[in-house]
Amino acid sequence: MTASKATSEISSDGDENYSAARESVDQDVSYEVQDSSTNGKFSRHKAQNSIHSQESDSTIKSSHSSLGRRSSHRKSSGNVNALVQDAIQRRTSLKGPPINEADLNEVSLDSDVTSTPSAAGGRRRRMTVSNRDAPSGMRQVPLPTPPKDIINGLNVLPHESEDTLSSESGHQQANQGHETITRPARSQTIGSNYDLLLARLEVQNNEITSDPKREEYEEQQIEEIRGSFERVYNEAVSKGEEEDIDWEFWSTVISDFNTVAKTHPKELSKNIQQGIPPALRGMIWQLFSKSKDPELEEQYMRLLKEDSVYEKAILRDLPRTFPKHDYFETDGPGQQALFNVVKAYSLYDTDVGYCQGLAFIVGPLLLNMPEEEAFCVLVRLMKHYNLRGNFTPQMEAINQRLYQFEGLLKEHIPHLHRHLEAQGIRASMYATQWFMTLFAYKVPFNLVYRIYDIVLAEGTEALFRFSLALMERNQATILSLDFDGLLHFLKNELMDTYKEDSRGFVRDAYGIKITPKKLDRLAKQYSSEAARASGEAEVLDTLRKQNKQLKDSVKRLENSVNQLNTEHITVANRLIESKLEMARLNDENDALHQQSNELKRALDTLPAEVEARVKEEMEILCTKNAALVERNSALEEQLSYMESMIIDIKMKFAESENERDTLRRKLGDMKRLMGA
């Protein structure tokens, strides 16, 4: 049956059952099954797991106690085709006697919550699309709604009857430390609190209806999961471990998840609460999230070849992400896979980029599936489970969730809420990491897997159940602490009470009734208050800006006044200096006037004196000039005499030279003669 046919069948045959299922929140559902080889009775037996945390919390071992032998038909099944046919026959037959409630009470809630070696090996094999691999007997057959007259308590908690949950006195004791708190018992039984599951299914169906490509991908995903389911089953048969898992139920879920969820939400919720089998966990997570997207896987492979600006930050944070788990040890395959997925997402969603909390979300996925499939689930969680809003710059989603959490805490545990308020403790101080990392930041993996089982089936709204369960379980300790001790306890020790009790963690969480309507109401209140706060913030911001402008204006005016005062002082000093200078100049002017008068008087007598002095000096000059003329004449005569003497001397010198030449010639002649 294709997804479109399943949708049409759900809309026609399943609408009435779906509406009835939503209304009967506290009603138990059971139905008769017929097994020809066991006289018509089908019994379930207790499966109990013990989980041992090692010192480093790096290796989680799971030991399974053997289940009681099922029918001879189950023992002889050699392949999953016959198994699925048997499952469909059991689920659709209503002719046998009712199921024994005593047998159903043997069902254990604490199914294995860790990855077994076989599961770890299986998760590394990539699922491939192959009609040959898919079991031929896995048809999507809608399960019928059982008659009310055979409802016999299928939804009673394993090992505990509904009476045990409510208790005879209507109260239960929660012992924490040295204090005992009495609180009303929870009336919810396992499987009866499934409003979030139905709401999540409705959202996913609307998405598929609006996107035809998603319908095609869903069909492809179912085929791949069928092939993987068959391989896991064959491996379990070969190892003799096939009785550890309710193969009939999970094969029916894989064959037609939508029909099972709509017509039998209580049983589906019950099995999810018991824990998805580790060998099937990866494929069931993908089925719940509808993450199969071949195009996205191809894009992931391309993104691995690109460089991201966040690579250094990612590499810096990797050693701090699950440092005590062997798979994520330094330079191990887990760290490389974690780096690949987180880096690819930083390239895929550039608005978000990288935040350290992303690695904590990816880690549990990588422990249950290959990295390309983990990337697809991460994208679905971010986009369709609204985790993306936790990592955007405004963090609008995480702020809304913290507001909803405080509202739920006030409603469910008012005295605890009052104590936290009195101590000044806000949810943002301790609960932010719960919602950003799906509790993976501090919680052991055996609890993280159980949280992921439920979150992927019901949506992130299920986190509120676990948050309130933690607060309620630890309320005695919380009420006894003041601010410093309280903040330390909430951040570091709150989880210790459930560390080895995953069964109790899930049971207590499902004892808290949270409906989509209640969450929507709180979300609307948050939006209203956020809008009002935003408006007030805008007004306050405007007033702050105006105040700042006025302060700046006052500061400028003060600076101007100071400048004017400085200039005034300078001008006053200059005025004083000018007056002093004027007085000095007046004195100087008087002195100059007196000097001028004296000069005028001197000028009046000066011409006659000057004329007499000039005449006297002219006479002296004439006398000196005459003497100089005489002396000049004498010197000229001496010069003429000297010139004549020089001429005579030159002539005599020339004559002497001629004589010397004559004598030299004669001497030479004589030397020649003597030599001859």
CB atoms within 10 A of CB 127: 22
The 3-state DSSP class for residue 60 equals strand
Per-residue pLDDT band for 3 (boundaries 50, 70, 90) equals very low
In whole numbers, what is the pLDDT of the chain averaged over residues? 74
Shortest CA distance to 387 belongs to which of 442, 455, 303? 455
pLDDT at 197: 82
pLDDT at 78: 40
pLDDT at 380: 93
115, exposed or middle or buried, with CB in 10 Å at 0-12, 13-18, 19+? buried
Spatial distance between the Cα atoms of 376 and 131, rounded to a whole number of angstroms: 23
**Radius of gyration over every alpha carbon of the chain, rounded to an integer in angstroms:** 54
pLDDT at 413: 94
Least confident of 56-70, 551-565, 607-621, 635-649: 56-70
Per-residue pLDDT band for 416 (boundaries 50, 70, 90) equals very high
Instruction: Give residue-wise pLDDT tens across range 292-331.
Output: 888 999 999 999 999 999 999 999 999 889 988 889 988 8
Per-residue pLDDT band for 128 (boundaries 50, 70, 90) equals very low
Q: pLDDT higher for 284 or 241?
A: 284
Which tokens sit at 476? 């005695």
Instruction: Give residue-wise pLDDT tens across range 501-533.
Output: 888 999 999 999 888 889 999 989 988 887 887
pLDDT at 532: 82
pLDDT at 35: 35
Q: pLDDT higher for 414 or 174?
A: 414
Q: Is the pLDDT confidence value at 362 over 90?
A: yes
pLDDT at 423: 93
Output the pTM of the full model.
0.57
Spatial distance between the Cα atoms of 362 and 360, rounded to a whole number of angstroms: 6
Q: pLDDT higher for 162 or 89?
A: 89
Most confident of 78-87, 179-188, 193-202: 193-202
38, exposed or middle or buried, with CB in 10 Å at 0-12, 13-18, 19+? middle
Q: Is the pLDDT confidence value at 213 over 90?
A: no
Judging by DSSP bridges, how do beta strands 179-184 and 49-53 pair with one another? unpaired
pLDDT at 58: 35
Per-residue pLDDT band for 538 (boundaries 50, 70, 90) equals confident
Q: pLDDT higher for 69 or 437?
A: 437
pLDDT at 18: 36
Q: pLDDT higher for 51 or 665?
A: 665
- Read off φ and ψ for residue 203, nearest 5 degrees: -65, -45
pLDDT at 53: 35
Per-residue pLDDT band for 214 (boundaries 50, 70, 90) equals low
Spatial distance between the Cα atoms of 13 and 6, rounded to a whole number of angstroms: 10
Q: Is the pLDDT confidence value at 609 over 50?
A: yes
Instruction: Give residue-wise pLDDT tens across range 6-63.
Output: 333 333 343 333 333 333 333 333 333 333 333 333 333 333 333 333 333 333 333 3
Residues β-bridged to residue 53: 60
Contacts of 33 (CB under 8 A, 6+ apart): 42, 90, 91, 93, 96, 99
Q: What is the DSSP string of 561-627?
A: HHHHHHHHHHHHHHHHHHHHHHHHHHHHHHHHHHHHHHHHHHHHHHHHHHHHHHHHHHHHHHHHHHH
Per-residue pLDDT band for 97 (boundaries 50, 70, 90) equals very low
Q: pLDDT higher for 8 or 639?
A: 639
pLDDT at 212: 65
**% pLDDT > 90, the chain:** 40
CB 405 within 8 A of CB 431: yes
The amino acid at residue 545 is: K
Q: Is the pLDDT confidence value at 288 over 50?
A: yes
The mean pLDDT of 138-144, rounded to a whole number, is: 35
Per-residue pLDDT band for 137 (boundaries 50, 70, 90) equals very low
Q: What is the DSSP letter of 306?
A: S
pLDDT at 175: 37
Per-residue pLDDT band for 209 (boundaries 50, 70, 90) equals low
CB 90 within 8 A of CB 143: no
pLDDT at 220: 75
Per-residue pLDDT band for 173 (boundaries 50, 70, 90) equals very low
Q: pLDDT higher for 285 or 128?
A: 285
pLDDT at 106: 35
The mean pLDDT of 165-175, rounded to a whole number, is: 35
pLDDT at 612: 84
Least confident of 127-141, 261-275, 282-296, 325-339: 127-141
The mean pLDDT of 249-267, rounded to a whole number, is: 87
Q: pLDDT higher for 14 or 451?
A: 451
Q: Is the pLDDT confidence value at 565 over 90?
A: yes
pLDDT at 211: 67
The mean pLDDT of 111-117, rounded to a whole number, is: 36
Per-residue pLDDT band for 148 (boundaries 50, 70, 90) equals very low
Per-residue pLDDT band for 111 (boundaries 50, 70, 90) equals very low
Q: Is the pLDDT confidence value at 402 over 60?
A: yes
pLDDT at 193: 66
Least confident of 6-20, 75-89, 349-363, 470-484: 6-20
Least confident of 86-90, 154-158, 367-371, 409-413: 154-158
